[in-house]
Structure 1
């Protein structure tokens, strides 16, 4: 699987560091996954690898299916509205993922509070979710 993970990452043109950021892990995790005899990613991370790289899960796990999944128009495995839309959203997502689980609720509450205050400051009276 290590060779297929490396191939999937390389197909994106991303460095190990950038790929790791998109998958939500440290660069060292990607290096471990790509090293023959290294550890394998969790199922959750395998799914994210397929989303980021566009390779098929069957190919990634077993190598027995086509590398690229068939793309059916209008059907996605993950709703694209939940993926980062730009580098700033990517940075925010990386920051949230770096916070210990026990502190995430406070962190997200702070982000939502700040977001609401900024919307009110720049768009007074405008009702946004």
Structure 2
């Protein structure tokens, strides 16, 4: 789907479905990432009689699927994030799991994790 045709999607339900499918996720996979029931995702994707996700979930959907929050929420701006933005988010399920684990660690220990990762990648570069 082109960027222009993505901008034409009127309903939030359709934008959520489009973001999910562009990210190659099933409703169940997205629900697992959001820690909600699959039926919640199905309700969000229903045009008529559906519900809207909480702002927190909408933000998470944008991050997980790699779309711009403003496009997802109200349909304005580009659907996809710029290269600079997308490098700051998880690129796949493994990276999302790592980020979730990192967020559960105390901030001082997060610094230790970053230092460890830097050390590990430094060793790879010098070989």
Q: TM-score band, normalised by the shorter chain?
A: 0.5 to 0.7
Partner of 1:58: 70
| Partner SS, residue 72 of structure 1 | helix
The question of 1:42 aligning with 2:54 is answered yes
The question of 1:32 aligning with 2:43 is answered yes
Report the TM-score, using the length of structure 2 for normalisation.
0.58
C-alpha RMSD of matched pairs (Å): 2.8
Give 1:21 shift: 0.3
The runs of 4+ residues in structure 1 deviating greater than 6 Å are: none
The alpha-carbon distance between structure 1 residues 70 and 24, as it changes in their structure 2 partners (threshold 3 A), is same
The alpha-carbon distance between structure 1 residues 57 and 74, as it changes in their structure 2 partners (threshold 3 A), is closer
Report the TM-score, using the length of structure 1 for normalisation.
0.57
How many residues are paired up? 85
5+ unaligned residues in a row in structure 1: which ranges? 91-129
